[in-house]
Chains A and B, each alone.
Chain A
Amino acid sequence: MTDQAVVEKIKAKFSSSVLEVKEHRGETTVTVAKDDIVAICTFCKEELGFNMLADLCAVDGLDMGLDPRFLVVYNLYNLTSKTRLRLKAPVGADDARIDTVCGVWGAANWMERECWDLSGITFNNHPDPRRILMPDDWEGHPLRKDYPVQGPDREPYQGRTV
């Protein structure tokens, strides 16, 4: 199935949820409404054959002026047709939450934990919503653009002063 055929099928099934379709360097990205993410992912897996969740992460659009601020990105892979597809779901800063897709792909479990830990996106109904890379009592989410590179409570190095 070509990328275009895949996109048409998603559009036919979820016409009101598909917000944007983009192609860049031969890769197709479908932006969808976050409310339907589980249904769309289930459709992609069961009807379109995207049986592997290759990767999941969030992009903080603060410095790009994105509104809503976050994008949750799903890189999918179809092992039979050997094709990839990227889904994106915008998530607002005030309500940075989206439903978990752990029920669709088991692989999402740790990926969503990491996404919560580092980017601060809450995954509704996640079976194990703990931090994974940072300590449990850590404050803040390091991969947010407003989180300092040098870490909290430290001034950036200013060079030699003497």
Chain B
Amino acid sequence: MATTTETMTINMGPQHPSTHGVLRLVLELDGEQIVKAVPHIGYLHRGVEKLAESRTYHQALPLTDRLDYLAPMSNNLGYVLAVEKLLGITDEIPERAKVVRVLMAELTRIKSHLVWLATHALDIGAMTVFIYCFRERERVMDMYEQISGARMTSNYFRVGGLSADLPEGIEKDMREFAIEMPEHVDMYEGLLTGNKIWQKRIIGVGEISGEEAIDIGLTGPSLRGSGVDWDLRRDNPYSGYEEYDFNVPVRNECDTWARYKVRLDEIRESSKLVIQALDKLKPGPILADVPKVCLPPKQDVVNTIEGLIHHFKIISEGFKPEPGEVYVGIEAPKGELGFYLVSDGGPRPYRMKIRPPSLLNLQALPQMAEGRMLADLVAIIGTLDIVLGDIDR
């Protein structure tokens, strides 16, 4: 007797632990094979772009912390660089502020990649790595707390520089952490790289060629895992990255394995960058000398009427960039994070459009998953390193 088979449509997520809270995937399955995958990215929507348009440029800064909440300082950096470009004060940023920005951006990259590795490994079934990665991440979180007062929503950078200087003694902790970190990465590799189960789960899974990756808008480690040698830190340097010596890891396998290796190598490179930044760190001002934009020193605010008036005007009215528009993209841990700002000459961004890396990376999911087995989908979601706050702004 002839038998007929039918495809079955099921929901994966949002409850599934690998779908990060609000992601829902509608899957059409033929047995265990994925025929079609349609992502629904959920309703986390907090309207960050709309909110930013009703606040001054300074007031919009804390909103950016909450985009990719695993890499708040990277988001801050992208935003302040865009506002500084809009104001035309990019060259005014003091050297110390630029070095601290690089320092924090690289620690943030390590921190973000640690959560990626922890959850990716956990999704696939390796629990030990999760615990080790969070142990190391905790040290960066402690530094975040000492520097900005907050463990997650740091709001540390300012238009023109930084909100405060580094606390005393933290440089030593950072250096120790950066020296130790490559050894930790070796240990993660010792647990995973040679592991047959790990290899079977990720080698050849979620393949996407370099050309397809560029076409669909993949950026960051996901693009570099497809053999495309492209990194904004090197190719469109910002915040003084051109003065640092670092490699851009690239792999040609185009699969989950390649993206895994690229990210691990990036943690090693970021550790090198942290040490270089610490070597470069010299005493000096942390805020640009642009009185119409940057708040005056606290002693002037409390001791002089001019300082007080200045402070009041910047806080209450904000500053007014001349009409125009800019787009600034930075190499965030997950890929290109871009801010497109339009000024109408007023104190608020007339239009703020965020180019989130996770949204475009997730767009590639159906392409990577269709034709694969259902179990592979968990590895593919993990390899994209998505953060829903970044996607569903």
Contact = CB atoms under 8 A, between A and B. Distances in A.
A and B co-occur in one complex: yes
Interface of A: 24-25, 27, 29, 51-55, 57, 59-60, 63-64, 73, 75, 77, 79, 82, 84, 86, 105-107, 109-111, 114, 118, 132-135, 142-143, 147, 149
B214 A25 contact: no
B350 A29 contact: no
5 contacts: A55-B353, A59-B351, A107-B215, A134-B45, A135-B43
Contacts of B51: 149
A24 B322 CA distance: 10
B306 interface: no
Which of A55, A84, A111, A149 has the most B CB atoms < 10 Å from its CB?
A: A55
A77 B216 CA distance: 13
B327 A27 contact: yes
A86 B344 CA distance: 18
A133 B215 contact: no
Interface of B: 41, 43, 45, 47, 49-51, 53-54, 85-86, 88, 212, 214-217, 228, 230, 235-236, 324-327, 329, 336, 338, 340, 342, 344, 350-351, 353, 355, 359-360, 363, 392
A107 B340 contact: no
Contacts of B342: 59
Given A64-B344, A82-B235, A107 B217 contact: yes
A84 B324 CA distance: 16
B340 A55 contact: yes
Given A24-B325, A54-B217, 7 more contacts: A51-B215, A59-B350, A82-B235, A84-B236, A110-B360, A110-B363, A149-B47
B369 to A, nearest CB: 15
Given A55-B355, A133-B45, A25 B86 contact: yes
Nearest to A64: B344
Nearest to B327: A75
Contacts of B214: 51-52, 79
A27 B340 CA distance: 12
A29 B325 CA distance: 9
A73 B45 CA distance: 22
Contacts of B336: 54
The 9 A-B residue pairs whose C-beta atoms are closest, nearest first, are A107-B217, A24-B324, A55-B355, A57-B353, A106-B215, A106-B216, A110-B363, A82-B235, A59-B351
Nearest to A134: B45
A147 to B, nearest CB: 8
Given A54-B327, A82-B235, A84-B327, A109 B338 contact: no
Given A110-B359, A142-B50, A24 B327 contact: no
A77 B363 CA distance: 18
Given A29-B325, A75-B338, A79-B214, A143 B45 contact: no
Nearest to B353: A57
A105 B327 contact: no
Contact of B215 (A57, A105, A147): A105
A54 B354 CA distance: 11
Nearest to B232: A82
A43 B325 CA distance: 24
A57 B326 CA distance: 13
Nearest to A147: B50
Contact of B340 (A24, A73, A134): A73
B363 A63 contact: no
A31 B228 CA distance: 30
Given A55-B327, A149-B50, A82 B355 contact: no
B217 A142 contact: no
Contacts of A118: 49
A114 B355 CA distance: 11
Which of B41, B54, B214 has the most A CB atoms < 10 Å from its CB?
A: B214
Contacts of A142: 47, 50
A79 B41 contact: no
A56 to B, nearest CB: 9
Contacts of A105: 215, 217
B248 to A, nearest CB: 13
A25 B353 contact: no
Which of A24, A73, A105 has the most B CB atoms < 10 Å from its CB?
A: A24
A83 B344 CA distance: 26
A134 B393 CA distance: 11
Contacts of A75: 327, 338, 340, 355
A63 B49 CA distance: 16
A109 B340 CA distance: 19
